[in-house]
Structure 1
Amino acid sequence: MHGRGESFVSGIAQGRSRDRAAPYFFLSYAHTPKNHPNDRDPNHWVEHFYRDLCDHVLQLTSLPAGVPAGFMDKQMQPGEGWQESLSEALSYCRVFVPLYSPRYFLSEQCGREWFAFTQRAVNHQSRGNGNSVSEIVPALWVPVPPRQLPQPAERLQFNHASFGDEYADEGFYGLIKLKYLREQYERAVYLLAKRIVRVAEETGLPDGDPHRDYLSVPSAFGPPGPARRMDVSVLACSSTELPDQRGPDCYGTHAREWNPYRPDSSRPLVEHAAELVRNLDYRVNVGEFDADAGRMLASGPPSAPGLLLLDRWALTTRHGRELVDRLCAEDRPWISVMVPWNRLDPESASREPELRDIADAALAPRQLESAGHRSPGGGLLTLEAFNQELPRAVEAAEKHYKAHARTFPPEGPSIPLPRLLPEGIGYGAEAPVRPVQQRTDEKPSTSEKGEDTPL
């Protein structure tokens, strides 16, 4: 039993520690609202499906007593503990199971769940443990046309027909509601459970941060319509052109190979950043600022928001400083600047005050928020700090881009706006406006007589 304003969740008890409650999978679904308060819970069949899926997972694994097979929120009301429960489940689950429906990709709640989980997967891949198998196993509640899928879902390329043609055509809702498809329903649920178990065993996803503020997590789903674009560019040194007192450990033959967070990360930072931006529902153009500057710094309205990853060491070179000076010479707030800085890098630590002053001087025109996003003065000291800052940098770039981008009026002839005329509302731009005459039986106001209006 639970009281008013409290949250009841299945799969993990509130406040439990990692070793006591770690759901095997997380079922993410969009709540269907009631048409009338007296109606039966419209999410009843989702819960029925969830219980069947948990039963199969329990049979297919050796989960010990007390360890839940899955997590599903049964009542998501603003109550004490529900945010913590969601954060814990998303940090500890092994597999993420989004339940597709037209309503799902319009839900900000579902978008947050998706991004929170995929951030774990991106970090796992950057630490050298990448796997070709995705930790996301989508399930169809109601089939969704491909054109309605956002970028993160479209890139999964999951073959739903492998669970049966009837399932691909009807989804679990159709199979569970139509009695003559009962056998197909049982088969599809069982195959989904097998897929979940296999993915969990092959990936071995490490835990995330259960103490992260869940409400600060952005949604992985952008607004309906054409896919959004984002330029992700890097300005960094290369191993063939290094300033004095800088070794080649963090660099490759090209600037795109810069990896400031090694050994914590094993892949270039621009690839890591681009993957996170893609999970925010953008089509990403990845490049080097040396080559991208002509396009990104062109005069006039911007063609896309941008994200610049800046290596402080590059500012000690003449060419690097000139590029940043060009960026800051005009207002370009739609390009957010992120400054990674590994506090465990001994070469960077020995010259930290000097390089910090150089970066502060180069980015001085961006002191105000209206000038565009920039990392804090001390830089982003860890990969975790970079991960938390990136959504804010992307949001700021998108906001400024919308404010400065060129707008295009709809096709067709323009229609004059309606005007308020003495005879009423109309379009009468050419209609003569007759002056309003004062009635003869009205007395002049005190203001017309030059008198003060009494208080």
Structure 2
Amino acid sequence: MDLEAAGAQGDEPRPYFFLSYAHTPRNDPKDKDPNLWVERFFRDLCAHVLQLTSLPAGVPAGFLDQQMQPGEGWQERLSESLAYCKVFVPLYSPRYFLSEQCGREWYAFSSRAVHYQAARSNGGQMSGIVPALWVPVPPGQLPQPAERLQFNHAAFGEEYADEGFYGLIKLRYLRDQYERAVYLLAKRIVKVAEQSRMPEGDPQQDYAAVPSAFGPPGRARQMEISVLACSRSDLPPGRAPDCYGPAQRDWNPYHPKSSRPLADHAVDLVRNLDYQVRVGEFEAESERLLGTERPQGPGLLLLDRWALDSPRRQELLRRLSENSRPWISVMVPWNRDDPDSGHREADLRAVLEGVLESGPATEFGHRSHSGGVPTLEAFSQELPGAVKAAERHYAAHAETFPPAGSSGAMPRLLIDGVGYGTSNSAPPVTGTDHDTGDPGDGDAPEGEDPADDREP
């Protein structure tokens, strides 16, 4: 078995799997920590993984944030564990998909899978994610990244699919079903780890800047990705065909390090931000995208500077700038390792800056730095900000649909509360009270074990 994730001798221990879960708060500070049950489940799962693998002594089977010590840099530790673990295990519950922290953990790991897919020349997609039910979640409440996994929870037992691990661990008569489900989950983790062989991520990533993979509850968000690039049939003089295909959307500027079109890579990243994605070619869709009507959704334009050798494409980009479409973010990949880049970089950059800056200096959306995005890793880091900017500008410009009928009088703040009348101004506030209490998770009282509290 590949023990690369265990690290070389002298390295920090690297977990085999990462358990991601939403903390349950105490109802009362005197209550026992409700997350002790998650810790109990984690210990049982680790014990099985250790038996099913040849992990050496001292290497943790899994990572759980309750293991971190006081004073330890939690962001650094999380980044390292998410970069090195072989498998990501999200523990589903109604709280999980409302948690910003859990969404960041999901996105940080799933980005590794997207980059892995870009480097592979063949084979199907492998996410490296093995979901587990703590409390069953209705399918309609799952965000897009979780809905696409298509995991059959009933394979671990009907009782598990109905109750989740929390129900199995709390009910005595389901003890056997609990043991079986934990063991089958451990086998699944080991199987996925051996099949995927996920490469390491970046342990130095800025965890605070990682976006969440979960959007707001409700209707799925939409994002349109457009490509303005050359194809092999219309390359400018002196441009090699290695990065191109029959269609514009086949453009792969980071060849040979990437084996797939950039649009496909962008689609996977945007889907991991909980969007439904449509992909098209900007030139073919230009009349709709550059029309005068209100926007139908936010967009992301992937621009090939080499395409600007065409006066028509220059004109399309100039119209985008002059008509002020800030809800369409523009990203400009420019691979400096490409042997053709050096002798044309200066003049193509000048053309790009000329057409993008031709519009009124009023409102601009996201634009890549004039030097372009040099690597696939840099592209992946910039994309969440570009998506967020497009969404923000779209919300500011999209058509709204207020409810029919009169809105009535606006409420006013009165001295005695909120009302619809008129009143003198409220007295000035002389002080503020800040709730600084943090229920936290705390430590279990010494000597207590979750098993002692098992309910009949």
Coarse TM-score class (shorter-chain normalised): 0.7 to 0.9
Root-mean-square deviation over aligned CA pairs? 2.5
Q: What is the one-letter code of the residue matched to 1:378? A: G
- 1:391: which partner in 2? 384
Q: CA deviation at 1:370?
A: 3.5
Alignment counterpart, residue 253 of structure 2, candidates 222, 242, 260: 260
Q: Which has the larger radius of gyration?
A: 1
Conserved 8 A contact 1:238-1:254: yes
State the SS of the aligned residue for 2:283: helix
Per mean C-alpha deviation after superposition, the further-off stretch among 360-369 and 343-352 is 360-369
Selected match of 2:196 from 203, 211, 227: 203
TM-aligned CA distance change 1:306 to 1:418, over 3 Å: closer
Q: Deviations over 1:52-94 (max 9, x none)?
A: 0000000000011121100010178995411110000000000
Indicate yes or no: 2:299 matched with 1:328. Answer: no
Could you tell me which amino acid in structure 1 is paired with residue 49 of structure 2?
Answer: V
Alpha-carbon contact 2:15-2:84 (below 8 Å) kept: yes
Residue 66 of structure 2 aligns to a residue in which SS? strand
Deviations 1:16-64 (A, max 9, x none): 9994411110000000111111110010000000000000000000011
| Contact 2:143–2:274 (Cα < 8 Å) also in 1 | yes
User: Corresponding residue for 2:357?
Assistant: 364
* Alignment counterpart, residue 185 of structure 2, candidates 192, 201, 215: 192
Partner of 2:340: 347
Distance 1:145 1:38, change over 3 A: same
Matched, 1:163 2:156: yes
Distance 1:76 1:112, change over 3 A: farther
AA at the equivalent of 2:117: Q
* Amino acid paired to 2:65: D
Q: Conserved in 2, the CA contact under 8 Å of 1:312 and 1:356?
A: yes
Give the corresponding residue for 1:34. Answer: 26
What SS is found at the alignment partner of 2:65? Answer: strand
In structure 2, distance between residues paired with 1:66 and 1:135: 24
Kindly indicate whether the alpha-carbon contact (under 8 Å) linking 1:101 and 1:141 is maintained by their aligned counterparts in 2: yes
Q: Which residue of 2 aligns with 1:65?
A: 57
- The structural deviation recorded for 1:414 is 2.7
Closer, same or farther: CA 96–359 of 1 in aligned 2, 3 Å: same
Distance 1:373 1:33 in 2: 39
CA contact (8 A) 2:323 2:359 kept: no
Question: Secondary structure at 1:232's aligned position in 2?
Answer: strand
Alpha-carbon distance in 2 for matches of 1:20, 1:193:
23
Task: Report 1:279-298 matches (<5 A).
Answer: 279-298=272-291
Cα distance change of structure 1 residues 421 and 36 upon mapping to structure 2, 3 Å threshold: closer
Contact 1:309 1:340 in 2 (8 A): yes
Structure 1 segments (4+ residues) deviating >2 Å: 15-20, 75-80, 129-134, 365-370, 412-415, 418-422, 424-428
Q: Give the distance between the partners of 1:337 and 1:325, measured in 2 at CA.
A: 13
Residues in 2 aligned to 1:331 and 1:71: alpha-carbon distance in whole angstroms: 48
After TM superposition, give the deviation of residue 365 of structure 1 in Å. Answer: 4.4
Paired residue for 2:171? 178
Matched residues in 2 for 1:18 and 1:102: separation?
40
Aligned to 2:442: none
Rounded to whole Å, the distance in 1 between the matches of 2:69 and 2:215 is: 24
Count of matched residue positions in the alignment of Structure 1 and Structure 2:
416
CA–CA distance in structure 2, aligned partners of residues 204 and 21 of structure 1:
18
Whether the aligned pair in 2 keeps the contact of 1:229 and 1:283 (CA below 8 Å) is yes
Q: 1:45 aligns with which of 29, 34, 37?
A: 37
Query: 2:68·2:74 contact (CA, 8 Å) conserved in 1?
Result: yes
Task: Flag structure 2 segments of 5+ consecutive residues without an equivalent.
Answer: 423-456
Overall identity of the aligned pairs, in %? 67
The 3 A distance-change label for structure 1 pair 426 and 98 is closer
CA distance, structure 1, for counterparts of residue 29 and residue 288 of structure 2: 56
1:103 maps onto 2:95 in alignment: yes
In 1: Cα distance, 2:241 partner to 2:328 partner: 28
Aligned mate of 1:217, from 180, 205, 210: 210
Flag the 1:391–1:78 CA change in 2: closer, same or farther, 3 A.
farther
Kept in 1, the 8 Å contact 2:318–2:359? The answer is no
Moved more, 65-74 or 163-172: 65-74
Q: Where do residues 7-22 of structure 1 align in structure 2 (5 Å cutoff)?
A: 19-22=11-14
Q: Give the 5 Å matches for 1:234-273.
A: 234-273=227-266
Q: Are the counterparts in 1 of residues 223 and 298 from structure 2 also a CA contact under 8 Å? A: yes
Where 1:373 maps in the other structure, the secondary structure is: coil
Contact 2:113-2:126 within 8 A present in 1 as well: no
Q: Are residue 307 (structure 1) and residue 300 (structure 2) matched?
A: yes
Contact 2:322 2:359 in 1 (8 A): no
- The structural deviation recorded for 1:295 is 2.1
Greater length-normalized contact order (CA 8 Å, ≥ 6 residues apart): 2
The alignment partner of 1:344 has SS state of coil
Asked if the contact 1:341–1:379 (Cα under 8 Å) also holds between the matched residues in 2, the reply is yes
Q: Distance in 2 between matches of 1:159 and 1:78?
A: 38
**Equivalent runs, 1:219-234 vs 2, <5 Å:** 219-234=212-227
- 1:25 correspondence with 2:17: yes
Match of 1:117 in 2: 109
Q: Which residue of 1 aligns with 2:74?
A: 82
Residue 418 of structure 1: CA displacement? 4.4
Checking the alignment, whether the CA contact within 8 Å between 1:416 and 1:427 is kept in structure 2 is: no
Q: Per the alignment, do residues 363 and 413 of structure 1 end up closer, same or farther by CA in structure 2, a change over 3 Å counting?
A: same
CA distance in 1, matches of 2:358, 2:408: 42
Cα deviation per residue 1:169-220 (whole Å; 9 max; x = unaligned)? 0000000000000000000000000000000000110000000110000000
| Separation (CA, whole Å) in 2 of partners of 1:406 and 1:78 | 50
Code of the aligned partner of 2:134: W
Q: Secondary structure at the match of 1:291?
A: coil
CA contact (8 A) 1:22 1:67 kept: yes
Contact 1:306/1:335 (8 A) holds in 2: yes
Return the match for 2:371 from 378, 381, 384: 378
TM-score (norm 2): 0.86
Q: 1:260, 1:341 within 8 Å by CA — same for their partners in 2?
A: yes
Q: CA deviation at 1:369?
A: 8.9
**Which letter does structure 1 place at the counterpart of 2:369?**
P
1:55 corresponding residue in structure 2: 47
Query: Does the C-alpha gap of structure 1 residues 250 and 207 become closer, same or farther in structure 2, counting only changes over 3 Å?
Result: same
